[in-house]
Structure 1
Amino acid sequence: MSSLFTTKMFSLSTVVLLLQIFTINLRTTDGQNVGVCYGTLGDNLPPANEVVGLYKENCIRKMRIFDPNRDTLTALKDSDIELILGVPNVDLQALATSPDNAITWVQNNVLEFFPSVKIKHVAVGNEVDPVGEFAQYVLPAIQNIYKEITAKGLQDQIKVTTVISTGILGSSYPPSQGSFRADSRSYIDPILSYLVSANAPLLANVYPYFSYSSNPNDISLPYALFTSPNVVVSDGQYGYQNLFDAVLDSVHAAIDSTGVGFVDVVVSETGWPSDGALGASIDNAKTYLVGLFRRSKTGSPRRPSKPTEIYLFSMFDENQKTPELEKHWGIFFPNKDKKYPVSCVKGKEI
């Protein structure tokens, strides 16, 4: 990786000043929210109705869940919270091989709750390995669910899509040279063609933390944490001052390189851990979140005209996840105390 990723570190006093000045504003602009993923792999988490209440109290107007948990869906009724509803990977085969299963799934998990639950996207599979056992089932499952959504006349209100990891990229540097791995093209290209035809976005999990922690000698911490004072990576007409935009635009470039047409990208997960590994600390996590929320008001250098829809991972620390690093991504502790300052007054930024 190029030394362009290296930049001067902010002084400790500058970082401390940033932490004192800024709080995390979960309502970033009128009509534009940053959502939060709600994971449940913990044995000490509050019940779903309290979680939904916590979202509302803190002006979090978008939620992603990873499976159609009925307690959560019931608690979301009339909450005015937009939802990404997940289909677990283990369910893909049944939905792909049987249209009747897809009809039943849509009836039980979508139609029973919509529109009192504002389901915006159905995410069919999460980070499926393009050459793994579930890959063959993703597009057929999407198509079967989409067919039933369309039969009910909801295709313009509920978009059916899937979630990728940036591990599907073969090249990501410089961002303009982003491309998909050769062994993933038979998987991703037909999905992208479907997304174009359905006018649906691709969901992508974008984690600058893992890029930094795997290569801290070449990627500076300020670049990863949104605190670099200057452009770090110059890429033709585009300049990158933070790693998040560079990774996101490598996904945009990879999509463009396929020639299938325009596909919007929703960042379905991003975050920074507060403990458990290199660079994981409460101070670094807060700095990342502050930078992320400030940046969410704009688009990326490659796609500047539209603010990026972003979902933060995650609502709570989850003590049943492994390894240790995976336990420390929450913005709230399981007792509902805030890990970081979160501001919200009457649904508007303060």
Structure 2
Amino acid sequence: MLQMHNPFRYIAVGNEVHPGDANARYVLPAMQNMHDAIVSANLQGQIKVSTAIDTTLLGISYPPSRGSFEVVVQDGQYGYQNLFDALLDALYAALEKAGATNLNIAVSESGWSSEGGNAATVGNAGTFYRNLINHVKQGTPRRSGRAIETYLFAMFDENLKAAGVEQHFGLFLPDRQPKYHLTFGRWKK
């Protein structure tokens, strides 16, 4: 029997659909349909179904144990030096309160624009990506030592978007030339 490597790990259904949006009622059934299709293909151990949320959905954001934060904050035994960790731990705290303590969060997009706005430079974006790649290996204060599965936004600049910051999140220019030298390495989860 020929075994093929499955390159897909997650399928995201919907993108930042707010609960008040008319299409919000379709997200969960679509996720369930996608999961059923994955099970019927016997890939349930290999592919997970998720959705991307807008972090403004957190009703409370301070402190992280309440599902809230400030940018630099001490929350009991947990100290936060950056918004990335605080946002993740606020989400983990909210999941724990909902009884979903065994769920892991995959960050489906994180990035920094290289043009089009304040502090949007190639140097700042390269520094952000390098620091993020190194940082996610160590986990958050609430889940220390557990690597955070994180995807960079985006592979290529989107030169067909309206002018501004949104065009310049790519690791590569539209002509496939790299903007930064990044080293990803491998690490255990």
Cα distance in 2 between the residues matched to 1:260 and 1:116:
30
Alignment of 1:303 with 2:154, yes or no, is: no
* 2:132 alignment counterpart: 292
1:244 counterpart letter in structure 2: F
Conservation of the 8 A alpha-carbon contact between 2:137 and 2:145: no
Shift of 1:171: 1.9
Alignment of 1:175 with 2:64, yes or no, is: yes
CA root-mean-square deviation: 2.3
* 2:40 alignment counterpart: 151
Q: Secondary structure at the match of 2:49?
A: strand
1:238 counterpart letter in structure 2: Y
Cα distance in 1 between the residues matched to 2:76 and 2:14:
35
Of residues 227, 233, 238, the one that matches 2:78 is 238
Per the normalisation by structure 2, the TM-score is 0.87
How many matched pairs? Answer: 184
Alignment of 1:322 with 2:162, yes or no, is: yes
Q: Which has the higher helix share?
A: 1
Shift of 1:313: 0.3
Shift of 1:343: 4.2
Runs of 4+ in 1 over 3 A off after TM superposition: 114-117
Which consecutive residues of structure 2, in runs of 5 or more, have no partner in the other structure?
A: none
The aligned runs of 1:150-229 (5 Å cut-off) are 150-178=39-67
Q: Secondary structure at the match of 1:297?
A: coil
Cα distance in 2 between the residues matched to 1:348 and 1:262:
24
Alignment of 1:265 with 2:154, yes or no, is: no
Alignment CA distance shift 1:292-1:260 (3 Å): closer
1:149 counterpart letter in structure 2: I
More relative contact order, 1 or 2 (CA 8 Å, 6+ apart): 1
Which consecutive residues of structure 1, in runs of 5 or more, have no partner in the other structure?
A: 1-113, 180-217, 220-231
Cα distance in 1 between the residues matched to 2:17 and 2:44:
24
* 1:41 alignment counterpart: none
Alignment CA distance shift 1:115-1:162 (3 Å): farther
Per the normalisation by structure 1, the TM-score is 0.49
